[in-house]
A and B are shown apart, each in its own frame.
Chain A
Amino acid sequence: MKKQDLLMVGVGGQGIILASDILGEVALAAGYDVKKTDTLGMAQRGGSVVSHVRMASQVWSPLIKEGEVDILLVFEKLEAARWSYFLRPGGLAIVNNHAIPPLSVSLGAYRYPSDKEVEDILKRRTGRVYFTAGTSKAGELGDIRTLNMFMLGCVSSFLPVGIDIWKDCISQRLPSKILQINITAFNQGREETSNVNLR
């Protein structure tokens, strides 16, 4: 059973904790040993959120070592640059091409990095970088809160877990009222990456 270390990063309020919880359940259902942990700090809203999900035949530390992340799943692109050093050389980065400028940028104390800069920082670690317009696509579906399921769909193409397990775990976790739109978001994400060549 090949180990998979996933780091999910973004901003408070983007639904990362729920998504990583579901990913953990998926790993359990697929027969892996699994550990998952979030570093939230004081962030109720608006701070950086980082979620570690580790799946393997046996997992010890809940935190992934720097430089050993297999898949970096990014909900906000500045956070891609911030956490890129966790990627193993040649690891995969899936990046929602969406900016949420922190207050320090609005106040003029810092400049938000350009797309080129973000990409260059990622490319220092790996050539396997995939950008997606997740936030726009979730918005087109009618609810940007489906971004987290869209991103899970994107990453699902790269994990050896059957589609039924994904759908079961999502169904168990989400209220029936919002389930359909979230499954649609998941399917769109999965479809988008299913033919992307990032091997």
Chain B
Amino acid sequence: MKKLLSGNEALALGAYHAGIAVASAYPGTPSTEILEAIAQFDDVYAEWSTNEKVAMELGLGAAYAGVRTLVSMKQVGLNVAADPFMAASTTGINGGLVVVCAGDPEIHSSQNEQDSRHYARLAKVPMLEPSDSQEAYDLMACAFDISEEFDTPVLVYTTTRLSHSKSLVEVNRSRVAPAKQPGFISDIEKYVMLPVYARLRHPLVEERMVKLATYTETFPYNQILWGDRKLGIVTSGVAYQYAREVFPTASFLKLGMTYPLPRNLLHQFAEQVDRLVVIEELDPFLEENIQAMGIKVTGKEFIPRVGELNASIVEEAGRQAGLLDKTSEGQKTDVAQGLPRRPPLLCPGCPHAGIFFVLSTMGQRSKLLDDRGKAQEESKLIITGDIGCYTLATYPPLRALDTTACMGASIGQALGMEKAGVSSKIVAVIGDSTFLHSGITGLVDAVYNQAQITIIILDNGTTAMTGHQDHPGTGISAQGKKTKAVELERLVRGIGVGDVKVVDAFNVKALRTAVRSSVGNPELSVIIVRGTCSVLLRARSGPRVVDAEKCDRCGVCLKIGCPAIQSENGQPCIDAALCAGDACTICEQLCPKKAIGPLSGIASKESK
């Protein structure tokens, strides 16, 4: 039976049918839905790990114990997990270990556009790249077989477009029973990487690569699809789909295993076509590895290195490269100019809005910044930021973040600025899930090295940005079971922070008082700003309205950046369908003319 599955759903189902017993992940776009899909199966242990490094280490332990294990993460997640990933390559496994890494060409929802395929080469592990959901499903079975046959973790590389597009899958397998019972047999030379034993492992890793290089020559998903031999295209992943659409008559060498590459197959293909090109997203990973085999090939000469590909881009590149008739000009596109942009926003009722309004106005920050977000002088309040919904507070009107680098970086960055000797006050803002992911060690460093910064933990009780996954602070597991919650305030105090405040995210006065007090404290301080993510609010009541007679159009309410507050010819008004009402009331608290209130309140005052 054919099913319409996303790449992520197909990867999950493929792994499930391959008999996995354990799956771990930290949420990250575009990989999140893999673990979400696996968590639906009762006969798999699936967890949200604290971060990708822990997820990988857990995967390593489970694989050592003999069971098939899947670890999934986004492209930058593999940076976090790189240390245990390298270790996994060195020790090898016992039960199959497959690592899914989901790249994000175009930076739809990431902080960079790195091509994580390089990790396969760095770690000397085989890499598989599906090009649609069917292959995502099929290759997962191959991945576990390869892992066990060659005693290696296997990297499965996907991208946003593959993970987040649905295509038809013939589901032709059912779940295989685990081949081994869980159990760990001590093997010091294999599992204890003291230098003396690690030295024994390295030659085995090199031998493994030699064997894999032979294996990949006949791997069934490395296929030649003969067409017109004037043009031969080497491609993999979703780039194959674009290439196939633009060059329907060309010959293809479509690679399902992109590391190591099939040397003989590539030579054979190259010799039989007049012109050989590689079409791949981001870096010339295939291209340079093929060139290193002494094969003449081009690709990045005309295929962009930056951004996501699509058929239009490949077509235009093909025209530039003389692969397509120049006269076959594509559709002339006339993009409408000057339309209002619609960037993503903090939601109505967002528990981050109040604290960022306070920070933004206290530092007089928005006044210092020009249209491009550049200031001429140092602001009185420097705000280092982190990864999550709250990064959106960078946009106007809040303009409340100065940095965002990677998960957990806000604390170390704030510390670095302080130690560098800047004269301004420094605040680090970090979400609850991000703090647990990689903020804790930064806080330990801040305590140990006597930092004087203020750290604000934005605790909305969820991992909101990636679609509201639970985390150690919520006390609910990935499979929906009640578990033990990590209490942030006890954790922070336990590390040794003396000045710890917990403040209601929807009380502007309390937020302002807390920030003033903490920033004024010459010692390290932590403020936990607590309020439920508005998307998780079950019921909404009491939408606010603006009393146009009292309103003097000062525009303060518009500076919150709330999507429910709009302006019609300069008159602020609130969209009742969007307003979070009683759960929020930030605008009501801020209005200097007391012109905002619940509909009933304003109506009754009017009637007096």
Which residues does A use to contact B, with CB under 8 Å? 11-12, 21, 24-25, 28, 33-48, 59-63, 65-68, 78-79, 81-82, 84-85, 88-89, 101-113, 121, 124-125, 144
Can you list, as one digit per residue, whether each of B336-368 has a CB less than 8 Å from chain A (1) or not (0)?
A: 101111111101000000000000000000000
| A34 cross-chain contacts in B, Cβ below 8 A | 4, 166-168
Which of A34, A65, A108 has the most B CB atoms < 10 Å from its CB?
A: A65
Contact, CB under 8 Å: B340 / A112: yes
Q: List 12 A-B contacts (CB under 8 A).
A: A11-B342, A21-B166, A37-B164, A42-B109, A61-B310, A62-B241, A63-B310, A65-B245, A67-B333, A81-B336, A106-B567, A107-B558
A101 to B558 CA separation, bound complex (whole angstroms)? 13
Task: With both chains docked as a complex, state the minimum distance between the C-beta of B188 and any C-beta of chain A, in angstroms.
Answer: 47
Closest 4 CB pairs of A and B: A67-B331, A37-B165, A110-B340, A47-B344
Q: B330: CB under 8 A from chain A?
A: yes
Task: With both chains docked as a complex, state the minimum distance between the C-beta of A178 and any C-beta of chain B, in angstroms.
Answer: 16
Contact, CB under 8 Å: B566 / A62: no
| A102 cross-chain contacts in B, Cβ below 8 A | 340-343
Task: With both chains docked as a complex, state the minimum distance between the C-beta of A106 and any C-beta of chain B, in angstroms.
Answer: 4
| B547 cross-chain contacts in A, Cβ below 8 A | none
Partner of B166, one of A37, A40, A48, A89: A37
Q: B397: CB under 8 A from chain A?
A: yes
| A103 cross-chain contacts in B, Cβ below 8 A | 345, 397, 561, 563
Can you list, as one digit per residue, whether each of B220-241 has a CB less than 8 Å from chain A (1) or not (0)?
A: 0000000000000000001001
Indicate whether A46 sits within 8 Å of B563 (C-beta atoms), given known contacts A103-B345, A104-B340, A124-B334: yes
Q: Can you name the residue of chain B whose Cβ is closest to the Cβ of A41?
A: B108
Can you list, as one digit per residue, whether each of B151-164 has a CB less than 8 Å from chain A (1) or not (0)?
A: 00000000001001
| B168 cross-chain contacts in A, Cβ below 8 A | 28, 33-34
Which residues does B use to contact A, with CB under 8 Å? 2, 4, 108-109, 132, 161, 164-168, 238, 241-242, 244-245, 310-312, 315, 330-336, 338-345, 347, 389, 392, 396-397, 464-465, 467, 535, 558, 561, 563, 565-567, 577
Contact, CB under 8 Å: B335 / A85: yes
Contact, CB under 8 Å: A45 / B563: yes
Given contacts A33-B168, A37-B161, A40-B164, 9 further A-B pairs with CB under 8 A are A28-B168, A45-B345, A45-B563, A67-B333, A78-B339, A85-B333, A85-B334, A104-B341, A107-B397
Indicate whether A82 sits within 8 Å of B336 (C-beta atoms), given known contacts A12-B344, A36-B165: yes
Contact, CB under 8 Å: B340 / A25: no
| B561 cross-chain contacts in A, Cβ below 8 A | 103
A47 to B245 CA separation, bound complex (whole angstroms)? 30
Partner of A45, one of B108, B339, B535: B535
A125 to B116 CA separation, bound complex (whole angstroms)? 40
A111 to B569 CA separation, bound complex (whole angstroms)? 11
Contact, CB under 8 Å: A108 / B567: yes
A188 to B92 CA separation, bound complex (whole angstroms)? 61
| B563 cross-chain contacts in A, Cβ below 8 A | 45-46, 103
Indicate whether A46 sits within 8 Å of B331 (C-beta atoms), given known contacts A37-B164, A61-B310: no
| B342 cross-chain contacts in A, Cβ below 8 A | 11, 46-48, 78-79, 102, 104
Contact, CB under 8 Å: A106 / B558: yes
Contact, CB under 8 Å: A60 / B344: no
Partner of A41, one of B245, B339, B344, B467: B344
Q: Can you name the residue of chain A whose Cβ is closest to the Cβ of B559?
A: A107
Task: With both chains docked as a complex, state the minimum distance between the C-beta of A182 and any C-beta of chain B, in angstroms.
Answer: 18
Contact, CB under 8 Å: A66 / B108: no
Contact, CB under 8 Å: B331 / A66: yes
| A39 cross-chain contacts in B, Cβ below 8 A | 108
A66 to B566 CA separation, bound complex (whole angstroms)? 33
Contact, CB under 8 Å: B340 / A60: no
Contact, CB under 8 Å: A47 / B343: yes
A110 to B396 CA separation, bound complex (whole angstroms)? 13
A61 to B166 CA separation, bound complex (whole angstroms)? 11
Contact, CB under 8 Å: A60 / B241: yes
Task: With both chains docked as a complex, state the minimum distance between the C-beta of A61 and any C-beta of chain B, in angstroms.
Answer: 5
A89 to B335 CA separation, bound complex (whole angstroms)? 14
A24 to B167 CA separation, bound complex (whole angstroms)? 9
Partner of A24, one of B4, B331, B345, B397: B4
Task: With both chains docked as a complex, state the minimum distance between the C-beta of A60 and any C-beta of chain B, in angstroms.
Answer: 4
Task: With both chains docked as a complex, state the minimum distance between the C-beta of B240 and any C-beta of chain A, in angstroms.
Answer: 8
| B343 cross-chain contacts in A, Cβ below 8 A | 47, 102, 104
Task: With both chains docked as a complex, state the minimum distance between the C-beta of A8 and any C-beta of chain B, in angstroms.
Answer: 14
Contact, CB under 8 Å: B333 / A66: yes
A106 to B567 CA separation, bound complex (whole angstroms)? 5
| A11 cross-chain contacts in B, Cβ below 8 A | 342
A110 to B563 CA separation, bound complex (whole angstroms)? 15
Task: With both chains docked as a complex, state the minimum distance between the C-beta of A146 and any C-beta of chain B, in angstroms.
Answer: 14
A104 to B336 CA separation, bound complex (whole angstroms)? 17
Task: With both chains docked as a complex, state the minimum distance between the C-beta of A12 and any C-beta of chain B, in angstroms.
Answer: 7
Task: With both chains docked as a complex, state the minimum distance between the C-beta of A18 and any C-beta of chain B, in angstroms.
Answer: 13
A86 to B422 CA separation, bound complex (whole angstroms)? 50
Partner of B161, one of A60, A63, A106, A107: A63
| A107 cross-chain contacts in B, Cβ below 8 A | 396-397, 558, 567
A33 to B245 CA separation, bound complex (whole angstroms)? 14
Contact, CB under 8 Å: A40 / B108: yes
A102 to B345 CA separation, bound complex (whole angstroms)? 10
| B389 cross-chain contacts in A, Cβ below 8 A | 44
A154 to B132 CA separation, bound complex (whole angstroms)? 30
A48 to B4 CA separation, bound complex (whole angstroms)? 24
A41 to B165 CA separation, bound complex (whole angstroms)? 14
Contact, CB under 8 Å: B345 / A61: no
| B4 cross-chain contacts in A, Cβ below 8 A | 24-25, 28, 34, 36
Contact, CB under 8 Å: A35 / B336: no
Contact, CB under 8 Å: B315 / A65: yes
| B396 cross-chain contacts in A, Cβ below 8 A | 107, 109
Contact, CB under 8 Å: B161 / A62: yes
| A45 cross-chain contacts in B, Cβ below 8 A | 344-345, 347, 535, 563
Which of A42, A79, A104 has the most B CB atoms < 10 Å from its CB?
A: A42
A62 to B335 CA separation, bound complex (whole angstroms)? 21
Contact, CB under 8 Å: A36 / B166: yes
Contact, CB under 8 Å: B535 / A105: no
